Amino acid sequence: MTTKCKFCNSTSFGSGCYKSPHKHHEHNGMDEKHCLFCNSMSYGQGCFFGPSKTHCHGSGASKCVYCVSGSMGSGCLNSPPKNQER
């Protein structure tokens, strides 16, 4: 599946998006298995391209996009606001 940056329509990942406020490509349409910013399958800290340096996955599996938990509410250690987000 080929996705494109929501700001510049490029298929690239990482830095170099001249239209993004954080200068990094952010893809629409990513599945729950891949990070929106770097296409990695990892969760948590370590995304070099995400604004908060945290991997953020696409939605679609009714799980938190930052930690893959099925819970809702507070308690996500990976989310910048520390809340589960879908």
> What's the burial of 32, exposed, middle or buried (CB within 10 Å: 0-12/13-18/19+)?
middle
| Per-residue tens of pLDDT for the chain, all 86 residues | 588 999 999 999 999 999 999 899 989 877 788 888 999 998 888 999 988 888 888 776 677 787 777 777 787 777 777 777 77
Query: What does pTM read for this prediction?
Result: 0.74
Q: What is the pLDDT of residue 1?
A: 59
Q: What is the pLDDT of residue 60?
A: 67
3-state secondary structure of 3: coil
Helix (H) or strand (E) holding 25: none
Q: What is the pLDDT of residue 10?
A: 94
